Amino acid sequence: MSTVDLTGQVALVTGGARGIGAAAVRRLAKLGARVAVLDLNAAGAQRIASAVGGIAITGDVADPDTMPAVVEQVEKVFGRLDVVHLNAGIGGGQAGVDDALDVARYRKLVGVNVDHVVYGLCAAVPALRRQGGGKIVITASLAGLAAMPADPLYTLTKHAVVGYARAAGRALAADGIVVAALCPGFVDTLLLGAAKEEFDSMSFPLLTPSDIADALQSVLAEGEPGEAWIIQPGGQASAYEFRGVPGVAGQVPPDVVLGRV
User: Catalytic positions, please?
Assistant: 154
* In contact, 29 and 54? CB cutoff 8 Å: yes
Enumerate the H helices of 79-208 as residue ranges: 103-110, 116-130, 152-172, 195-201
Instruction: Indicate the SS3 state at residue 207.
Output: strand
Q: At 171, give phi and psi (nearest 5°).
A: -65, -30
* In contact, 222 and 2? CB cutoff 8 Å: yes
* In contact, 35 and 7? CB cutoff 8 Å: no
Torsion of CA 69, 57, 37, 91, to 10 degrees: -90
Q: At 121, give phi and psi (nearest 5°).
A: -65, -45
Instruction: Indicate the SS3 state at residue 90.
Output: coil
Q: Are strands 228-231 and 238-239 parallel, antiparallel or unpaired?
A: antiparallel
261/251 Cα distance (integer angstroms): 18
* Widest pairwise Cα distance in the chain: 58
* In contact, 74 and 81? CB cutoff 8 Å: yes
169/180 Cα distance (integer angstroms): 7
